[in-house]
């Protein structure tokens, strides 16, 4: 996990894949790798137009096909999504908010935690809960 924290600090860029079904995600990750981007977040669709299980499958397929990519799960807002991501092989978890339960469970699973926060109080709460990074979100 510490190696991943260092890699994120060095590369400073995580690509976001949103709304791509599992059968197409490996091609998208391949294109990102060709462009020099190996840190990739695959997001959970909260409307469930893309089922959460499909997102987990996308994480699993992308991780299996592209060993040079570091695949994480994004828009993780509950423990069900976190469990699906962990089982699928995600290496990091991004969240849109400071959910201390998600942060602690992410850390307990040995993954890098990156919650979103907007205020100084939220940033402090995320750090105290064990977040490795805090994403300023939403930000213009």
pLDDT digits (tens, 9 = 90+) for 13-51: 999 999 888 889 999 999 999 999 999 999 999 988 889
Contact 71/63 with Cβ under 8 angstroms? Answer: yes
Looking up tokens 């850390």 gives 107
Work out the mean pLDDT of the chain and round it to a whole number: 95
The percentage of residues in the chain with a pLDDT greater than 70, rounded to a whole number, is: 100
In this predicted structure, the answer to whether residue 2 has a pLDDT above a threshold of 90 is no
- Which two structure tokens, joined as six digits, stand for 133? 């990074």
Contact 25/41 with Cβ under 8 angstroms? Answer: no
Closest to 43 in 3D by CA, of 85, 77, 71, 74: 74
pLDDT confidence tier of residue 1, bands split at 50, 70 and 90? confident
In angstroms, the CA 126 to CA 19 distance is: 27
Which residue numbers are catalytic?
A: 41, 135
Burial class (CB in 10 A: 0-12, 13-18, 19+), 109: middle
In this predicted structure, the answer to whether residue 118 has a pLDDT above a threshold of 90 is yes
In angstroms, the CA 93 to CA 73 distance is: 5
């Amino acid at each position: 996990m510490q190696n991943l924290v260092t890699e994120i600090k060095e590369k400073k860029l995580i690509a976001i894949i949103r709304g791509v079904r599992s059968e197409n995600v490996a091609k998208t990750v391949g294109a990102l790798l060709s462009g020099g981007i190996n840190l990739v977040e695959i997001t959970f669709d909260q409307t469930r137009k893309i089922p959460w299980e499909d997102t987990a499958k996308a994480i699993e397929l992308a991780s299996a096909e592209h060993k040079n990519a570091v695949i994480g799960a994004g828009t993780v807002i509950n423990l069900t999504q976190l469990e699906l991501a962990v089982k699928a092989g995600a290496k990091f978890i991004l969240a849109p908010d400071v959910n201390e339960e998600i942060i602690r469970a992410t850390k307990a699973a040995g993954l890098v935690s990156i919650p979103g926060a907007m205020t100084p109080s939220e940033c402090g709460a995320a750090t105290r809960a064990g977040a490795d990074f805090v994403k300023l979100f939403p930000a213009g």
